[in-house]
Amino acid sequence: MSMRQTESKGGVVVATCTNPPMNYFCAEGTRELGGLIEQWKSPDVRVVILTGGMTGKFITHTAWRSSPSTRATGRRCASPASA
């Protein structure tokens, strides 16, 4: 499942990050964003707006040392991240 939805109009791209329940930015989201950045290198793209898709949350991060489950998987997403 994609964590980012994108809309493009007139050279403006809006990328909305949605990763319930806390909108964590994790390894999977990083890889997905990297792929999108490659697409956005097109000369047709003039502006990219990153936004959170959850009320009251933009992008949440966590201290890696504070969570054993995050240290074990490298993320706080629904499925384990591959190394």
Q: In what order do the strands lie in the sheet with 47-52?
A: 4-9, 12-17, 47-52
The residues spanned by each domain of the chain are 4-73
CA 21/CA 47 separation, integer angstroms: 28
The pLDDT of residue 45 is: 96
CA 19/CA 25 separation, integer angstroms: 8
Say which residue, 30 or 71, is predicted with more confidence.
30
pLDDT digits (tens, 9 = 90+) for 21-70: 888 888 888 888 899 999 999 999 999 999 888 888 887 776 555 455 54
The pLDDT of residue 30 is: 84
The pLDDT of residue 64 is: 54
CATH architecture for the domain at 4-73: 2-Layer Sandwich (3.30)
The pLDDT of residue 25 is: 80
